[in-house]
Structure 1
Amino acid sequence: MDDPNADTQWNDILRQKGILPPKEEKEITEDDIISMVENTIDEKSHGKAFDDMTLDELNEKEDDVDEEEERIFEAYRRQRMAEMREASMKAKYGCVKEISKVDYVTEVNQAGEGVWVVLHVYKNDIPLCKLINQHIMNLAGKFPEVKFLRSVSSVCIPNYPDKNLPTIFVYYEGDMKKQFIGPHEFGGMNFTQDELEWNLSKIGTVKTELEEPPKKSISDVMDRAMKENTIDDCDDDNDW
């Protein structure tokens, strides 16, 4: 015997004639409702989930949502706006600012909560200082959440000795965390931007994607040279 609840044309005719009882309606569960809402959202967003949409895309869909979806829609939009505000607050620098002695307290000691400050003390006629200035300009654009500053030594710290240049002071929330003083800290004109980025990342100033130090340390180079010399000596002994 055919199923009286089956959705067939014959059963529909029998129901209309009163021969078969009305079809039993399936109870809609909470899971069914959630599934229906999710399917509707997917259809209206052309297969793109709300949590994958940008704020502009969410705004474009505003007129398409009905009352049932409004709460979900608003939650996603508020989340996107909060994320954009947070990113905007962090990325508020992006360049190197020149300061003088009178700016020091405001720009460095009172930089604010959660702010890293990198200050380069330099002189224009020192080649290594020019190189460091170029590096921090590039890093300022790469890490706009960090405040990069520079100041001519005679303007920032009167009577500061040239032998200490270049100098980099690193502050966090107004407290000094690290200082790099003098050319020996940088290793000469071969000092690279990646090396500076790595050194700042070790302090926590920047979040680098570099996976290892860009250059071997002096001790590593010396160890390698000693090992090679030892091997050469052994080879010479074997020749005899």
Structure 2
Amino acid sequence: MADYHFVYKDAEGASTQWDDIQRKLGNLPPKPPAFKPPPFEPAPDPDSAPKDKSWIDQKTEEELQDLEDDLDDDRFLEEYRKKRLADMRKAAKVSKYGSVMQISGSDFVREVSQAPQNVWVVVLLYKEGFVDRTLQV
């Protein structure tokens, strides 16, 4: 036979007024404290400590060479970043979209139907002097 009983479970640490009254009267055990994880503390990073002349003196020649290679990479990336930003600014100045222009019925075929294949044309057709009665308040 099916079990038709349902036990309501709320968020951890939440209780009803009834449960609070029952705890106050001693009919229910005290509510356990809600779980609170310890605060996150990242592990100390040895590379983030301030560096001085003694730090450099402790390095071997190979380690210094590796550090120099890292600096070269940083310089290259910085130059590449500046070049890329300049290219993007230049491309942003170029008009991405064409223009908005009013044409007559006689220009429609030339401007719309015979437009190049790689050009999108958006057309708004209207009749001059026509008042849309639905927009009037």
**TM-score strictly above 0.5:** no
Larger relative CO (CA 8 A, sep 6+): 1 or 2?
A: 1
What TM-score bracket applies, with the shorter chain setting the length? 0.3 to 0.5
- The TM-score, its normalising length taken from structure 2, stands at 0.37
Higher gyration radius (CA) = 2
Higher helix share: 1
